[in-house]
Every structure is written in structure tokens, then in C-alpha cells.
Amino acid sequence: MTAQPSPLRVVCARAAPAPLLQVDGVSLEYRTPERVVRATHQVSFDVHAADRFVLLGPSGCGKSTLLKAVAGFVAPCEGEIRIEGAPVSAPGPDRIVVFQEFDQLPPWKTVRQNVMFPLMQSRGMSRREASECALHFLDKVGLANFADAYPHTLSGGMKQRVAIARALAMRPKVLLMDEPFAALDALTRRRMQEELLALWHDAAFTLLFVTHSIEEALVVGSRILLLSPHPGRVRAELNSHQFDLASQGGAQFQATAQRIHHLLFDEAPHPAPSPARTAQAR
């Protein structure tokens, strides 16, 4: 009689789920009046469903260009980007971008109308359906009471919340955020980070987030891809799911932030001076 595999063996034999987003050996270039500039060089990474995946690196490393390529705005000169195995060749409603700029909302539309518009245009919703959906997501970001306000009456943080509500209402496969909180003051930025994490815990969407702040990457991300200075190459990939806003200031958080800094800028950590050396230096 042939022995039957145990349930444990059957579970172990199952293949891991395929990545939702695959960036495979992607090099990106742009042209200036003088020359062609390489922004990234053969960058590869996978993003799984419900990941909070952060692209982190210094200014000019190509992280925003890479996000635009995932969005379909920039075509790779080498390599391929795939969503659920299908090559990305153009923008689409399965990838929605929230930019850094506050003025990404048409000023002649109310807050509700700004959220409704893409739902009717891209998702084919009726006005009533779009209005109900818009109010639902405006409530999620705490702006239901401002549904009939116009963008010029809102603060920068409130405008970003509208942009996030509009993006989430589209229910994209991947939400793309390009340094969305960089221009905010420190207190508003922290509050927006809190709200983004609360939204993720509620809806578990897949996030691809660009920042040049090590602390923000550790707080927002569950996984972090480190990119070298120009042109952007992969330096390392780290797990950061163990950190949150309450971790800031803790020893492990600070040690990880320092390690990332050294990895990004190719510095060797300086050893702590010994007591004997300290005594001699006095």
C-alpha cells in the first residue's frame, strides 16, 4: 500500500504565492540637451499582495523614476515590469499614483467631485454609486464633513488626504506614493503616517512608497529596498515590519537606521572607543 503524504507535507509542498508586482532587471534613462542619463541600473525586486514596500535612497538615485515606470509613465530601456505576470506597457487604473504636490486636485471640483470623477470615468460607476463610494473613502480619511468644500479652502495635509481617498476609492492593485508627505510640516507628516498605517490595517492594500527619509521608511514600510546614489542600483533589501511610530527613539530602531545609513552611503560603522582610549584622549 502506498503511504499517503501527511497534511503537514502537503502544506509544505504548496508553492509560495506569486508576486503581485515584479521589477526584473530594470534600467531607466532620460535625455537632457547634452546627453542621455541613466537613472537606474538593472534594478530587481518583487512586491507581494498587502506589502508596504518602500524605495529608499538619496536624491537622484532614480526611485521616483522607478515608481513612474511602475505606473506606466516611463518605459524601461532594459528589463521588464509585470503586474500579476502581465507586462506593464502603459498607465492603468490598477496602479494609482499619489504625488508629492498638493495641487493635484482640479480646483473647480469639490472634494467629493474630485473623488467621484475617476470612478465614473475609469470604473464606469453611475453618479450615485460614485458619490456613495467617494463619501465612504472620505470618511475613512476623516474628511466626510468637507465633501462639498473646494480644494483652495483645505490645508496641505487635507489635500493629501483627499488624494489618498481618491486613489483608494479606485481600488488599485498597487497604490503608488511618491514622497507624498515630504512637503508637510513635521507634526502633519507624522499624523499622515499614522493615518496611512491605519488605512492599511483596515484595508490591507498593496503599497509602493518612495521616500528619502530613513525614519519614514522604517515607520511606513514592511520591506525596504535600498538604492545607491546615481545611478540607482540595489544595495540591499531589509524587513522592517517590526517597527512602527512608537518604535522611534528605541535602541533597535536607531541601530537599524544607522545601519541603513551606512549601507546607503558605503560607510563603515565607527567602533565605540574603548575605556582606555577614552582615558588617554582626556
Query: Which of 149, 171, 193 finishes a domain?
Result: 171
Query: In terms of domains, do 164 and 177 share one?
Result: no
Residue 282, number of CB atoms within 10 A of its CB: 4
Q: Are 59 and 151 part of one and the same domain?
A: no
**277 domain residue, yes or no:** no
Q: Phi/psi of residue 128, each to 5°?
A: -65, -45
C-alpha cell at 112: 467629493
Question: Would residue 266 be called left, alpha or beta, if left means φ above 0 and alpha means ψ between -120 and 50 degrees?
Answer: left
Q: Is residue 282 part of a domain?
A: no
Same domain for 177 and 123: no
β-strands 234-239, 95-98: how paired?
Answer: unpaired
> pLDDT tens digits for 141-183?
999 999 999 999 999 889 999 999 999 999 999 999 999 998 8
In this structure, are 180 and 193 located in the same domain? yes
Q: Where are the alpha helices (DSSP H) in 72-155?
A: 111-122, 127-140
179 and 260 share one domain: yes
162 phi, psi to nearest 5 deg:
-65, -45
Q: What is the pLDDT of residues 101-122, one digit of tens each?
A: 767 889 999 999 999 999 999 8
What's the rounded Cα separation, in Å, for the pair 72 and 67?
9
* Statement to judge: residues 255 and 177 lie in one domain: yes
Q: Which residue has the cell 538619496?
A: 58
The domain boundary, picked from 148, 171, 194, lies at 171
At what angle are helices 127-140 and 156-169 packed, to 10 degrees? 130
**203-257 residue pLDDT tens:** 889 999 999 999 999 999 999 999 998 889 999 999 999 998 888 889 999 999 9
Domain count of the fold of the chain: 2
Could you tell me what percent of the chain has a pLDDT over 90? Answer: 67
Same domain, 193 and 70: yes
What is the rounded distance in angstroms from the CA atom of residue 127 to the CA atom of residue 247?
A: 44
pTM of the model: 0.85
Expressed as residue numbers, the domain containing 116 is 106-171
Does 275 map to a domain?
Answer: no
**C-beta contacts of 149-153 below 8 A and 24+ residues apart:** 149/110, 149/111, 150/107, 150/108, 150/109, 150/110, 150/111, 151/103, 151/105, 151/106, 151/107, 151/109, 151/111, 151/114, 152/107
Phi, psi of 67 (to 5 degrees): -65, -40
